[in-house]
Structure formats: structure tokens, C-alpha cells
A = this chain, B = another copy of it.
């Protein structure tokens, strides 16, 4: 199996077949991480550059582990320690990286569209590890893998996404991906956090969290990302938690086999109560485990074949 494209930039440009190929491949590769020797030689001699303009640990480590378990060589650039960034345009940085013959560049950037610009400029495969408020396709893919793994399918499921939809690249990528694969998406959150026109992406909107929870097969709580908001668009964390935080009390009305998800890192007691995050319905750590598998799958599908 390969992916007949150079880059993975957003869910919009992946077909249903491509999404299924990625999920199937990830399921196969997941087993490698449980072996005593967690390593296959598939990408030996490939160079993967991890280019993180925004701070990140979870995603960066997940990508690094994925690359290393496939035997790729990795080099890292982070904005904070990087002179390449200072006074140099992304265009020049891209061309310079390209000149060193990397096979893939994994990029996280605060500017929406940066990975797309990079992809146009380089022959290397580009994987978007999160760009501004735009897209985070590997997060959506690992979420979809986790749902499919637990529920056996995506089509026909109801997925509630709760929280700050407007500032969330995770929500956006999930809405698009889930919609493509036949799941129904319901969004709930404070009116200030629901962008106008989001229904055009194929999601329903409600301002009543209980309504979203009631028939959901999956409930995804989003992280309140203060660092991405101009001003905190809700009176207080406490009030947010009371209205929209996932608590055991609110889940009384949920289905008996509901899945609770969160992209992490968690603000405990704000968007999700600790007893819910660690409760029997939570698949939050499965998401993390599947993150490594999804990233292995993408690197394998983009670089593994005879390009």
C-alpha cells in the first residue's frame, strides 16, 4: 500500500479511500510498538526533519518515536533555538532544507497555510503537525483510528465535539474527516466559541451541551487554549467548567457505551473532570498510543514505497 500523494496537509484533500488506507496501515503498524524490539528497517536511510515553530512536546515526541521505530534518521529544528528562523523567510528556509535532501519534513507552525507553502516549495513529503487555527490532520486521523478501533466503524456514529470550536484546528480537522467517513458531528460550546457558518463543513450546532451528549457515541472535549485566544471569551474557568466541562453528572444522560476523548494536554477540572478523564469510558490514552501508529503509517505510506 502507498499513498498516491506527496503530502498530508489537511483532511480536506484526503479521499475516503486514502483515509481508510492510512487507518488500516496504522492498525497494522501499531503492533510494532508492543514488541520487545520496537523497530523495523523500513525507512532506513531516510531523513525526516521535525520543524516545530510552535512549542510542542507531545506531538513532536510522537513523531520522533514513529520515525525512529521505522529506522529513519531524524533531525529537529525548533523556533526557540533556531537562527534559521531569524530574519529568513519561510520560503528561504524551505529551499535550504530541501537542498539537504530530506525525505520528509514534519512542520508545526503558528501561521495557517505554512505547511502548504512549504509543500509547494520542496520535493520532500510534508506532513502538517498543526498550523495555526487551521488543521491538525494527524490528530484527526488518530482520533478516527481510536473510534474505529473501539466501535468497529465510523459511518453512522454520532460524535459530539464540545468546547472552543472556533480556535481549534483539532475540531476543524475532525469535522472534515468524520464527515467524509459518514459520521455525524454535533458541536456544542459557548456561542462565542462557535464560528459562524461552521455548518457548511458538515456539522450540526447546539448551544446546549446536554443535547449534544444525549445520543452521542463519542464525546470529544476540546482543550481550552488560552494561549490561542486574544481575550478569554468566557467569564471564568469555573463558569466554563460548570456549563461545558465534562463531569460525571453531565454524563448521566449519555449512552452506556459512549467514548470520551480529549486531544490533550488536559486542563484538569476545566474542560474535563479528572474522574471522567480517567473513567471507564475514557480512551484518551488510546489516542496517544494510536498517535504513534498514525504517524508511523503516514511516514511509511509517503516514504516507504519506490517513489
Chain A residues close to B by CB (< 8 Å): 33-39, 44-47, 49, 55-58, 61-62, 64-65, 68-69, 73, 75, 77-78, 80-89, 92-93, 95-103, 264-268, 285-286, 288-289, 291-292, 306-307
Q: Is A68 touching B73 in the complex (CB atoms < 8 A)? A: yes
Nearest-neighbour CB distance to chain B for A95, whole angstroms, equals 6
Report the Cα distance A238→B83, complex, angstroms: 23
Q: 10 new A-B pairs (CB below 8 Å) besides A38-B101, A57-B81? A: A33-B101, A36-B45, A38-B103, A39-B73, A58-B83, A64-B75, A87-B267, A88-B265, A100-B289, A100-B292
Which of these, B75, B84, B86, B291, contacts A65 with CB under 8 Å?
B75
Q: Is B37 touching A45 in the complex (CB atoms < 8 A)? A: yes
Report the Cα distance A83→B264, complex, angstroms: 11
Q: Which residue of B lies closest to A306 (CB)?
A: B36
List B contacts of A265 (CB < 8 A). Answer: 83-84, 86-88, 92-93, 96
Report the Cα distance A284→B268, complex, angstroms: 46
Q: Which residue of B lies closest to A292 (CB)?
A: B100
List B contacts of A83 (CB < 8 A). Answer: 55-58, 265
Which of these, B35, B73, B87, B264, contacts A45 with CB under 8 Å?
B35
List B contacts of A264 (CB < 8 A). Answer: 88, 92, 96
Q: Is A99 touching B289 in the complex (CB atoms < 8 A)? A: yes
Q: Which residue of B lies closest to A39 (CB)?
A: B45
Asked if A89 meets B268 with Cβ closer than 8 Å, knowing A45-B35, A46-B38, A77-B61, the reply is yes
List B contacts of A88 (CB < 8 A). Answer: 264-266
9 tightest CB-CB pairs across the interface, nearest first? Answer: A37-B45, A57-B84, A39-B45, A99-B288, A88-B265, A68-B73, A99-B285, A33-B101, A57-B82
